[in-house]
Structure 1
Amino acid sequence: MSEVTEMILTLPNKIYISSANVDMRKSIDGLVSIVEDSFNCSSTDDALFVFHNKYCDKIKMLYWNTEGFCLLYKRIEKGRFRFPTKINSPVYTITEEELLWLLHGLKIEDIRHYKKVVSEQ
């Protein structure tokens, strides 16, 4: 893997998703403002901040990588991203695995994880 690919593909420790619809015309400064005002954390934390539009067919992902902000944008041509609907807070966290499911069109609320088994040794 090249250094550039590794830099882009290395996910931060936390992944936050805004449950509110966001105007996709917003760029880095506008999204940083939302993070600072609504997410109760710093935009330069080791975190990925995910935003979606009203129709859930576009997302933007923002993160800080010590030299500056990175902004990733994805638009679905057919269908929608299937964000959780039973969220009662303006921001929630998901795992890296759940983010990958979300990006591939899966509804993460419906996916069941196996319970971890601890060895008795």
Structure 2
Amino acid sequence: MQGLALLVQQGLKRNPHGGDLFVFRGRAGSLIKIIWHDGIGMSLYAKRLEKGRFVWPSASEGTVSLTPSQLACLLEGI
């Protein structure tokens, strides 16, 4: 979790404690991790698919902003 928070801070130049969700995909595409700070502590959510890969949006500038419904579709594999 600390490594992902450091990646957000140094790589993306964003505040990992600001309340935003930060979603990362593993190299194989079957694992995603989401970190979120709720003002009290950091939370980590991970999901691994047994079959298939997560459909990942293309990021022309290195980051992509998603709406809550887009994130739900991503998590459901739509």
Per the shorter chain, which TM-score range?
A: over 0.9
TM-score (norm 2): 0.93
Q: Which has the higher contact order (CA 8 A, sep 6+)?
A: 1
> Which residue in 2 is equivalent to 1:68?
41
Matched, 1:58 2:5: no
- Structure 1: 4+ residue segments shifted above 2 A: none
1:1-31 deviations in Å (ceiling 9; x for gaps): xxxxxxxxxxxxxxxxxxxxxxxxxxx1100
Q: List runs of 5+ in structure 2 lacking aligned partners.
A: none
Q: Percent identity?
A: 31
Larger radius of gyration: 1
Give 5+ residue unaligned stretches, structure 1.
Answer: 1-27, 107-121
State whether residues 35 and 43 of structure 2, in contact with CA within 8 Å, keep that contact through their aligned partners in structure 1: yes
Whether contact under 8 Å (2:25, 2:32) holds in the other structure is: yes
Aligned length: 78
Q: Which residue of 2 aligns with 1:90?
A: 62
CA drift of 1:39 comes to: 2.0
